[in-house]
Amino acid sequence: MANELKLLEFSPQEVPKSGSDDREELPVLLIEDNPGDVRLVEYLLATSDMFHCRIVNKTSLQEGLAALSQTDFPVVLLDLTLPDSSGFGTLQKLITAFPETNVIVLTGLADKALGLKTVKAGAQDFLMKGGFDADLLAKTLRYSIDRKSVLQRLTESQRAREVAEESARLKEQFIAGVSHEMRTPMNAIYGMSHLLALTPLNEEQKGYIHSIRQSSEVLLGVINDILEFSTLQNGKIEFTHETFDLTELLYNVVNVMQYKRDEKDILFALHMDEGVPQKVKGDKLRLNQILYNIVGNAIKFTDEGFIKIHVELAEETETEALLHFSVEDSGVGIPADKIDGVFDAFTRVHSKDRLFEGAGLGLAIVKNLVAQQGGSIGAKSELGVGTTVFFELRFSKAPPDVLEVETEAPVAAQDALRSFSMLLVEDHKINQLVARKTLERHFPNIILTVANHGKEALEVLKTTLFDIILMDIQMPVMDGNETTAFIRRHMPEVKAPILAMTAHAYISRNEVFKTYGFDDYVLKPFEPEQFFTKIHYYLDLPVR
Annotate 229-274 with DSSP letters as a single string. HHHHHTT------EEEEHHHHHHHHHHHTHHHHHTTEEEEEEEE-T
Q: Is residue 188 predicted with pLDDT exceeding 70? A: yes
Long-range contacts of 478-481 (CB under 8 A, 24+ apart): 478/453, 478/454, 479/454, 480/425, 480/454, 480/516, 481/516
3-state DSSP assignment of residue 528: helix
Nearest Cα to Cα of residue 331 among 237, 264, 395? 264
Mean pLDDT of 392-412: 63
DSSP string, 175-240: HHHHHHHHHHHHHHHHHHHHHHHTS---HHHHHHHHHHHHHHHHHHHHHHHHHHHHHHHTT-----
E strand or H helix at 529, and its extent? helix 528-539
Specify whether the CB–CB gap between 385 and 378 falls below 8 A: no
Q: What is the pLDDT of residue 469?
A: 96
CA 215 to chain centroid, in Å, comes to 29
Residues 491-494: contacts with CB under 8 Å, at least 24 apart: 491/458, 491/461, 493/465, 494/461, 494/465, 494/469
pTM recorded for the entire structure: 0.45
Predicted pLDDT of residue 428: 83
pLDDT of residue 408: 42
102: closest CA among 72, 71, 127, 123? 123
Query: What region, left, alpha or beta, does residue 141 occupy, with left being phi > 0 and alpha being psi -120 to 50 degrees?
Result: alpha
Average pLDDT rounded to a whole number, residues 204-218: 72
Q: Which of 400-409, 410-419, 466-475 shows the lowest mean pLDDT across its residues?
A: 400-409
Mean pLDDT of the chain: 79
Please write the tens of the pLDDT for every residue from 255-288: 767 666 666 778 888 999 988 998 999 988 788 8
Three-state DSSP state, 376: strand
Task: State yes or no: pLDDT of 154 exceeds 60.
Answer: yes
User: pLDDT grade, residue 144 (50/70/90)?
Assistant: confident
Q: Tell me the CA distances in angstroms from 533 to 133, 222, 408, 439, one per residue in order.
A: 84, 25, 9, 12
Q: What is the pLDDT of residue 8?
A: 40
Which pLDDT score is estimated for 181? 67
Q: Which amino acid is at 308?
A: K
Whether omega for the bond prior to residue 525 falls within 30 degrees of 0, making it cis, is yes
The pLDDT-based confidence of 300 (bands split at 50, 70, 90) is confident
Q: Which residues share a beta bridge with 306?
A: 267
Rounded to an integer, what distance in angstroms lies between the CA atom of residue 152 and that of residue 124?
15
In this prediction, residue 225 carries a pLDDT of: 64
Are the beta carbons of 92 and 75 closer than 8 angstroms?
A: no
Beta strands in 80-165 (DSSP E): 81-82, 85-86, 103-107, 125-128
- Round to whole Å and give the CA distance between 132 and 326: 71
Q: How confident is the model at residue 83 (pLDDT cuts 50, 70, 90)?
A: very high
pLDDT band at 171, cuts 50/70/90? Answer: low
